[in-house]
């Protein structure tokens, strides 16, 4: 657990958007009930089928939301980056968790009890709108991923995955994405630059060119 004397500073950073629409009494309740926990890489945060009781906010690190599949294979549903809320949809829907979450790398997460959030939402229309907007944005991203998975060919899906990595992790100072390892069709790719090629090419064109080049290199070395 994070030491108590550092909690208030983290709260102000992590919950800035939420705190800005609360009155003083509501802020006090949030601060009194907020707690922080650290997780090591691959450590489970919650499991599929567990009761949803907490609002979670990623303060530092990365978290993956995933669903277990056949034969122990896991499908990553989405990646959480600082500062994003997660884990609360199931509570509002009256469901247990239908996914699981684990630390993609060492992570620091803040927690608030959902009954408290529900009570505040009922009293504060601006807070209700805050969560409606959060859920609407998540739904939009989910719809986009569904279209990408069902209507695009394999190269297009790989390109979208790389764009997602860029959006989630940003760029290095030299303009290339941070180095990431990806498992694609059981093969491991080390992504160090996804934006080579001519300036006039679209981002997707550049990504597809990069993927094709990597596949050709792999084929020649096989």
Asked if residue 192 and residue 90 are part of one domain, the reply reads: no
Give residue 24's pLDDT: 92
Based on the domain organization, do 174 and 90 belong to the same domain? no
**What total number of domains does the chain contain?**
2
Q: Are residues 21 and 129 in the same domain?
A: yes
Separation of CA 197 from chain center = 29
One domain for residues 111 and 178: no
Residues 81 and 42 in one domain: yes
Cβ neighbours for 7, distance < 8 A, ≥ 6 positions apart = 31, 34, 35, 36
Q: Are residues 57 and 111 in the same domain?
A: yes
pLDDT digits (tens, 9 = 90+) for 154-190: 666 666 666 666 665 555 444 544 445 454 445 555 5
Structure tokens given for 121: 């939402």
Which pLDDT score is estimated for 174? 47
Q: Find, among 88, 86, 67, the residue nearest to 76 by Cα.
A: 67
Of 96, 125, 150, which one is at a domain's C-terminal end? 150
- What pLDDT, in 10s, does the model give residues 127-155? 999 999 988 887 776 656 666 666 666 66
pLDDT at site 69: 75
**Are both 15 and 88 inside the same structural domain?**
yes
Q: Please check the confidence at residue 33 and state whether its pLDDT lies above 90.
A: yes
Query: Is the same domain home to 29 and 52?
Result: yes
Buried/exposed 145-170: b ≥16 CB within 10 Å, e otherwise: beebeeeeeeeebbbbbbbbbbebee
Mean pLDDT of 200-206: 58
179: number of Cβ within 10 Å: 11
pTM passes above 0.85: no
Domain boundary among 150, 169, 192: 150
Q: How confident is the model at residue 1 (pLDDT cuts 50, 70, 90)?
A: very low
The CATH number covering residue 28 comes to: 2.60.120.10
Q: Residue 189 belongs to what domain range? A: 153-221
Reference 184, options 220, 146, 221, 210; nearest CA is 210
């Amino acid at each position: 657990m994070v030491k108590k004397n550092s909690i208030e500073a983290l709260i102000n950073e992590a919950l800035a958007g939420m705190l800005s629409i609360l009155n003083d009494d509501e802020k006090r309740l949030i601060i009194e009930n907020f707690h922080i926990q650290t997780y090591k890489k691959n450590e489970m945060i919650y499991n599929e089928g567990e009761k949803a009781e907490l609002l979670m906010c990623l303060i530092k690190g990365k978290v993956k939301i995933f669903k277990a599949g056949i034969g122990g294979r896991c499908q990553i549903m989405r990646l959480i980056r600082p500062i994003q809320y997660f884990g609360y949809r199931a509570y509002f829907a009256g469901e247990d968790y239908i996914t699981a979450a684990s630390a993609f790398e060492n992570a620091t997460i803040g927690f608030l009890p959902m009954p408290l959030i529900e009570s505040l939402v009922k009293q504060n229309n601006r807070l209700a709108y805050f969560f409606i907007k959060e859920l609407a944005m998540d739904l939009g991203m989910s719809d986009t991923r569904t279209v990408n998975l069902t209507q695009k060919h394999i190269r297009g899906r790989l390109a979208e995955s790389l764009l997602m990595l860029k959006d989630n992790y940003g760029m290095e100072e030299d303009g290339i994405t941070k180095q990431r390892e990806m498992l694609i069709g059981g093969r491991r790719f080390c992504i160090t630059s996804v934006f080579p090629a001519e300036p006039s090419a679209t981002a997707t064109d550049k990504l597809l060119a990069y993927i094709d080049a990597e596949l050709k290199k792999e084929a020649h070395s096989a």
